[in-house]
Chain A
Amino acid sequence: MSHNVKILPGATVCEDCTLEGDITIGGGTVIHPRVTIIAEGGPIIIAEYCIIEEYSTIIHKKSDKQENPPKPLFIGAHNVFEVGCKLESPCGHIGESNVFECRSFVGEEVKIGSGCVIGAACRLTAPQTLADNTVIWGSDHHIREALEKQPSQLLQLDFLSKVMPNYHRLRKPNVHKRQPSTRQSTEPSPKP
């Protein structure tokens, strides 16, 4: 295990996962077992309240035109990485409230805004930028634009952080310098 993995208080990180390189995991985030996060090209920062499910892979790839010091890969809050999805990115910024559905693949040079959904088994390989609230689905990669962001999974996060310690060995939070940002107490109320 690398010494560079920083787990903030409130994060639920299972021991049975591969974390390599300089990784920061924000409070409230749940990382299931068998997850692979590799920061070989630069640090990876995962913000608060993300769910990273089994067998998902997040790689910060090495690239030739790397800056020095390398730029971090920043993953915003409330992102959901479903079972078996894969995210490869040399660097950059992923917005918040995105959903990477089961076995989806996001290749290099794909910039993702906020509120996007990469549908199950969809593969994004060409360089592109997804505007906010873009939904991609189906084997034909249909694209549509949602009106609002995907609802957040706070109930699921609460449940997971309560249940996971009963069944899995967890990694202890090792950073106490910064207090995790206060959790939003209520779901953002939907439009009337």
Chain B
Amino acid sequence: MAYLTQPDYVKYICSCGQLKPITSLYFCRHCLKIRCGFCICHEVDSHYCANCLENMPSSEARLKKNRCSSCFDCPSCFHTLSTRATTQQRQVLQDPAAGGDTKVESKQPKKMYYLSCFNCRWTSRDVGIPDQPVASGGWPERTNPHAARVNQLIDYYKAIAQQEKQEKIERERKKFNIRGKYITLTDKTGLTGAMARNIAGLPSSESSSSAIANFVPSVATAEVDELPEDIFTKEVNLNQITSMPQRLASPDWQPVSVSRLHPLAKLLSVKRSQRCRACDHNLTKPEYNPGSIKFKIELLAYYHVPEVKIISHEPVKPGEKTALFLKLTNPTGHEMQLRLLQPEDIPPPEEKEEPKSIDKSLERSLVLEKDTTAFKAIERQPNISATSRVTSPGVTLTLAQRDDAAEYDDDAQHDTNDIILWRKSNKLGVRLELDTSAEAVGGSPARALVALQYSYRNTVPPAPSAAACRDHTLYTTLLLDLGTVSSN
């Protein structure tokens, strides 16, 4: 809870150099490295509507412009609209001569539905949308006045993309021909280029070239409509004019007056899985069912990396040694050896270029679309300006494994000493010394830097080729936010 409501006092340094709280970090069990949202691959697993929880395949989602066909948002405040029912005594609008049975039917109370917003009380009746006889669907759709031109443009750009792709394939093929060793995708699958295009739903090259040839570019014009006479004299009624967010929410119409607001089809949400860029293993994978918030794979740092919390600390004074109390937690199911170090003591990671298998490089070469340069990870040293250092106590602390049952007995073990304040199940309270540099200016933010060395037992079944090494020594660096340096 503290992670949700309070600022992030303790930040870990991700392997890419980002500073993040432990709750927004991932831990790759295959690379044994901390990863964050910036240095992993995000993939869309499935599209779904957050309101009706309906799943939608991605092709259908693209066709529907990533919007749900049965749910709507309020055009006034963007809250989800609800369908409300009213019983209505239908007035007989048909002339009496039309026949007896229409009259009988119209006598019965009929249920009619309209859309209503519970937040701002906007209703579909406000803009004159007739009530519907069915609870979902059937709402009138407005067509974009520029639909024809937009489609023309889309076709044109698709054709250009197609042409460029074709040229690229052509180039690649030439390259392969020179090498003469590799087979192309079309050879391998026995598909001709035209067939492949057909399967992919792309227009054939002939039609694309005609789309490019027949395209008429837009022409800018200096002539615009005159402003109305009374533009400066008429009193403005702000209740009748839409706000910028309201206009931009429906870019195709951009209504000026509130009477033109129209229900917005609800945007779809995605379930995404996250993948380590270095080893292509999944870090998170959600369950497919949109109603479920559980994960099939959930490699969060919170379950693998020792958690550090600040209990309290003395005021940080320049050039002085002050006390710092930390709580260390072992979230893993194995005993953990932990040492506090200086960041400089961390041994540099061994640069080992993993031998690329031939299969993989072949696969890569076949995926021509993928621009491999885009996947190059840029690692940088984080800019850490810490005023203080945590003095390394030079002892190894042992943290017991996590035991959910132990939460309930509260007899703290008392093997306390100078450093260990208390010990309880997989948690440890430590007293440390904080060494602040004399140059620290009073009032400036006080940050302390500390490195952790911890043992980690990998429970992933080892790959047949790799050595069966299960116990690892890992390092991580933390930045503690200790408020401000006191000025006296």
A residues sitting closer than 8 Å to B (CB atoms) are: 117, 119, 135, 137-138, 142-148, 150, 189-192
Q: A145 — nearest CB in chain B belongs to which residue?
A: B239
Instruction: State how many angstroms separate the Cβ of A142 from the closest Cβ of chain B.
Output: 7
Within 8 A of A (CB), among B112-129: 112, 119-123, 125-126
Of B77, B86, B119, B125, which one neighbours A148 at CB under 8 angstroms? Answer: B125
Main secondary structure of the interface of B (DSSP, over half): mixed
Q: For the complex, count residues of B whose C-beta is within 8 A of A.
A: 20
Partner of B126, one of A137, A142, A146, A192: A146
Query: Do B88 and A146 touch (CB < 8 A)?
Result: no
Closest to B90 in A: A192
Which 10 pairs of residues, A with B, have the shortest CB-CB distance? A145-B239, A137-B120, A147-B126, A135-B121, A190-B86, A117-B121, A137-B119, A146-B121, A192-B91, A135-B120
Task: Apart from A135-B121, A137-B77, list 11 A-B contacts with CB within 8 A.
Answer: A119-B119, A142-B77, A143-B238, A144-B120, A145-B240, A146-B122, A147-B125, A150-B121, A189-B88, A190-B88, A190-B112
**Most interface-central of B76, B77, B121 (chain A CB within 10 A):** B121
Residues of chain A contacted by B238 (CB below 8 angstroms): 143
Whether A144 lies near B88 (C-beta < 8 A) is: no
Q: Judge if B166 is at the interface, Cβ distance under 8 Å.
A: no
CB distance B258 to A144 under 8 Å?
yes
Question: B residues 223-247 with Cβ under 8 Å of A?
Answer: 238-240
Q: Which residues of A contact B119 (CB under 8 A)?
A: 119, 137-138
| Among A117, A150, A189, A191, contact of B89 (Cβ-Cβ < 8 Å) | A189
Could you list 7 examples of A-B contacts with CB < 8 Å? A119-B119, A135-B121, A137-B77, A137-B119, A137-B121, A145-B258, A147-B125
In the bound complex, CA of A131 to CA of B77 (Å)? 20
From B119, B123, B238, name the one whose CB has the most chain A CB atoms within 10 angstroms.
Answer: B119
**With A and B bound together, what is the CA distance between A192 and B123 in angstroms?**
15
Tell me the minimal C-beta distance from B235 to chain A in angstroms: 15
**From residue B117, how far is it (CB to closest CB) to chain A in Å?**
9
Residues of B at under 8 Å CB distance from A?
A: 76-77, 86, 88-91, 112, 119-123, 125-126, 131, 238-240, 258
Contact present for A144 and B122 (CB under 8 Å): yes
Closest to A120 in B: B119
Measured between beta carbons, the chain B residues less than 8 angstroms from A143 are 238-239
Cβ-closest chain B residue relative to A192: B91
Query: Which of chain B's residues has its CB closest to A134's CB?
Result: B239
CA–CA, A192 and B92, complex, Å: 11
- Min C-beta distance of B232 to chain A, whole Å: 24
What residues of chain A lie closer than 8 Å to B258, measured between beta carbons?
144-145
Q: B120 and A119: CB pair below 8 A?
A: yes
Taking CB atoms, residues of chain A closer than 8 Å to B120 are 119, 135, 137-138, 142, 144
Q: Please give, as numbers and ranges, the residues of chain B lying within 8 Å of A191 by CB-CB distance.
A: 125
CB A114 to nearest CB in B, in angstroms, measures 14
**Bound-state Cα–Cα, A144 to B237, Å:** 11
A147–B240 Cα distance when bound, in Å, is 11
List chain B residues, Cβ under 8 A from A146: 121-123, 126
Q: Are B90 and A144 in contact (CB under 8 A)?
A: no
Chain A positions within 8 Å of B122 at CB level: 144, 146
- Nearest-CB residue, chain B, relative to A143: B239
Which residues of B lie under 8 Å from residue A142 when comparing CB positions?
Answer: 77, 120
Closest Cβ–Cβ distance, residue B164 to chain A (whole Å) = 46
| Across-interface contacts of B88 in A (CB, < 8 A) | 189-190, 192
By a CB distance below 8 angstroms, the chain B residues around A144 are 76, 120, 122, 239, 258
B86 contacts across to A, CB distance below 8 A: 190
- A17–B88 CA distance with the chains assembled, in angstroms: 39
Shortest Cβ distance from residue B245 to the other chain A in the assembled complex, whole angstroms: 10
Min CB gap A139→B, angstroms: 11
Residues from chain B with a CB closer than 8 A to the CB of A189 are: 88-89
Give bound CA distance, A138 to B246, whole Å: 15
Specify which chain B residues have a CB less than 8 angstroms from the CB of A145 in the assembled complex. Answer: 239-240, 258
- How far apart sit A189 and B89, CA to CA, in the bound complex (Å)? 8
CB distance from A113 to the nearest CB of B (A): 14
Report Cα–Cα, A147/B86, bound state, in Å. Answer: 17
Q: How far is the CB of B84 from chain A (nearest CB, A)?
A: 9
Give the chain A neighbours of B89 by CB distance below 8 A: 189
A147 to chain B: closest CB distance in Å? 5
Give Cα A192–Cα B131 distance, bound, in whole angstroms. Answer: 8
CB distance from B56 to the nearest CB of A (A): 30
Query: How distant is the Cα of A138 from the Cα of B122 in the complex, in angstroms?
Result: 13
Q: Complex Cα distance A143/B122, Å?
A: 11
Cβ of B120 to closest chain A Cβ, rounded Å: 4
Bound state CA distance, A148 and B121, in angstroms? 10
CB proximity of A180 to chain B, nearest CB, Å: 26
Whole-angstrom distance between the alpha carbons of A148 and B116 in the complex? 13
- C-alpha gap A62/B170 in the complex (Å): 88
* Nearest CB in chain B: distance from A101 CB, A: 10
B114 vs chain A, min Cβ distance (A)? 8
Q: Is the CB of B121 within 8 A of A138?
A: no
* Chain A residues near B131 (CB-CB < 8 A): 190
Shortest distance between the CB of B179 and any CB in chain A (Å): 64
Residues of A within 8 A of B76 (CB): 144
Chain A residue with the shortest CB-CB distance to B125: A147
